Structure 1
Amino acid sequence: MAPRVHRTRTALLVLLAACVARAACAWYVPPPGTSFVWHLSGADSDVDPRHPAKVYTVDASLAASTMARLRRAGKRVMCYISFGTAEDWRGDYHQFPNAALGGLVCRGDECADVWPGERWVDVKSAAVRAIMEARVQAAKSKGCDGVDPDNINAYSNNITVQAVTDFTVTEDDQYDYNSWVANTVHKYAMSVGLKNPGSLAPSHMAGLFDWALIESCSYYSDWGGGEWYSGKYQCDYANEFIVRSKAVFAIEYAEQWGTSATTVNGMRFPQGLCADSNAHGFTTNLCTFDLGLGPRYRFANCPLHKPAGCDGVWRQCVKEQVYRKYQQRHMERWDAVGQCMRARRAACKYKA
């Protein structure tokens, strides 16, 4: 058995190395600028493949026929799976052992409210990993091209609130688990994204994962003045994917921004948001908090274009700063990179 495991791991490492060249990759790696739709709830009948977006993210619980319908329309289908929580409305919830169930997932950093029925899981648990791999297998069998793994940031959250079992998840635990998530999805020749890449070795994670999805990074970093994890460094961390020619899908919420300027598809974008998105190389959607597939779902894409004079902003700033690796956590280095980028973007002649 041991030699067989060794051969499997060796083959996976060779395949991962080959993915440095996109054409050699066995799974889909979306390039920067790829358009996307992000639908997290709703019925199969609500899925509308007529939107021109290339990537559709839908819940993994939808029917295989829905995935097939999207693929016939030329879409790449990413299936949403929560890898870090147990949700009591899922069919496999009863499989989680009590010892692996932590606190309810908080709404917001102050945890004044919680998401009912959703608990953090112990990512160190072999039982949890077996359940998650079964979810990946099910997604593969339904025809999903990739996986959108949520809640793989337990180490930075309070997981003991109203806990069934008190346990801790350290940065090392999360690093190991996230690496396992990427390698497990790739084992089934599927694409995998990193949701809200934080300070956890982003250079390494950007090498493992195929794309990133970030929420509210522009709101918190440039206009909202929020905490560092939610925004200030979040946009900069995600640029590690752009450097590797991998897409960054950015979500901004209309309810957070309030007043706005540019109107696109009936939704009003904040002044400068799309210009900032294009400078980073991100694909940005403005959404409402209701992310269901029904008639209430509203979103619009930032117009995609390259602002004059902004090519290579990230690469040039990194070259000038000669930064240390993220793993060493010298945050002041990344502060300098961020300042450099903001100064350079301010000098660009934006079209939007």
Structure 2
Amino acid sequence: MRRLPVLAALFTLLLAGCTTSSDSKSPAERWQPRPGTDWQWQLSGRLDTSVDVPVYDIDGFDHDEETVDGLHEDGRQVICYLSTGAWEEFRPDAKEFPASVLGRGNGWEGERWLDIRRVDVLEPLMAERLDMCRDKGFDAVEPDNMDGYRNRTGFPLTARDQLRYNRLIAKLAHDRGLAVGLKNDLDQIPELVGDFDFAVNEQCAQYKECGALTPFIEADKAVFHVEYELPTSRFCPESRRLGLSSMLKKYELGVWREAC
């Protein structure tokens, strides 16, 4: 009986299991928000934890492990907001980004688009940021500015460059046990819906684009959606029909919200 090859194969599998990262979670183990899940998105001002919703989306740099733990104790899941496609001069790691990867301003003071083709530079920097989200106990990450190829970044970015980079960010998040949301980037949803656990969208109703988000709903994945300029009467009926988790916010993304 030729047992040695079998035993060797079993030993190899055992060794591989021992060396797998303890942070990695299977898709079934990661948090998976479902369509219609209510949420709060607050990126400015003193955090108000009294909003009675099951999901909070807050700035990953501005809040510590104690804050995340407190939200968990109140029964909330917590999303870590990060900018992964743009440089922000006010972040503690800003000086680690070489000038060669900094492009045009993205419309927000102190922010510039990143050259997402330079994964040799950006991957370790983004990995450190995602380590921070994991170490603080966040359940998921919202990576922002993930559609640079559709903007004047100062770099000749292509749709292929964007797909490659967005999938890299999703993998880095998943490797750390974090769920990850696709921010805007509507045109690439068909290619990316399988790589992301939920979507975050701004102003799809104002620009008549909400139908493009249905692949996430059909995959039983939440779409967290905000409008800034339309009254709720203009978008909530359609949001409810589509299964979006929608609310009205002010541009500064403070405490105030008016949910559908």
TM-score normalised per structure 2: 0.87
Instruction: State the aligned residue count.
Output: 241
User: What are the residue-to-residue correspondences of 1:16-31 with 2, within 5 Å?
Assistant: 19=27, 25-31=28-34
Shift of 1:159: 0.8
Over the residues paired in the alignment, what is the CA RMSD in angstroms?
Answer: 2.1
Given the alignment, which residue of 273, 277, 288 partners 2:239?
A: 277
Shift of 1:218: 1.1
**Aligned residue number for residue 6 of structure 2:** none
Query: Is the Cα contact below 8 Å between 2:60 and 2:133 reproduced in 1?
Result: yes
**Aligned residue number for residue 193 of structure 1:** 181
SS in 2 for 1:217: coil
**Aligned residue number for residue 251 of structure 2:** 289
Give the AA of the match of 2:110.
G
**Aligned residue number for residue 83 of structure 1:** 84
Shift of 1:204: 2.7
In percent, how many aligned pairs have the same letter?
33
**Aligned residue number for residue 211 of structure 1:** 198
**Aligned residue number for residue 129 of structure 1:** 123
Query: Is the Cα contact below 8 Å between 1:29 and 1:246 reproduced in 2?
Result: yes
Return the alpha-carbon distance in structure 1 between the equivalents of residues 29 and 128 of structure 2.
Answer: 21
Query: Within the alignment, does 1:244 sit opposite 2:219 as a pair?
Result: yes
Return the alpha-carbon distance in structure 2 between the equivalents of residues 243 and 119 of structure 1.
Answer: 34
- 1:95-134: per-residue Cα shift (whole Å, max 9, x none)? 001111111113xxxxxxxx22111111122111111110
Shift of 1:203: 2.0
Query: Is the Cα contact below 8 Å between 2:82 and 2:142 reproduced in 1?
Result: yes
Q: Which has the higher helix share?
A: 1
**Aligned residue number for residue 49 of structure 1:** 49
Gaps of 5+ in 2: 1-11
**Aligned residue number for residue 298 of structure 1:** 256
Gaps of 5+ in 1: 20-24, 107-114, 161-166, 222-233, 261-268, 303-352
Query: Within the alignment, does 1:235 sit opposite 2:210 as a pair?
Result: yes
Return the alpha-carbon distance in structure 1 between the equivalents of residues 175 and 150 of structure 2.
Answer: 27
1:236–1:197 CA distance, 2 compared to 1 (3 A): farther
Shift of 1:286: 0.9
Return the alpha-carbon distance in structure 2 between the equivalents of residues 275 and 128 of structure 1.
Answer: 41
Query: Is the Cα contact below 8 Å between 2:43 and 2:252 reproduced in 1?
Result: no
TM-score normalised per structure 1: 0.65
Return the alpha-carbon distance in structure 2 between the equivalents of residues 76 and 59 of structure 1.
Answer: 14
SS in 1 for 2:187: coil
Query: Is the Cα contact below 8 Å between 1:59 and 1:80 reproduced in 2?
Result: yes
Return the alpha-carbon distance in structure 2 between the equivalents of residues 289 and 96 of structure 1.
Answer: 27
Shift of 1:48: 2.5
Return the alpha-carbon distance in structure 2 between the equivalents of residues 31 and 270 of structure 1.
Answer: 24
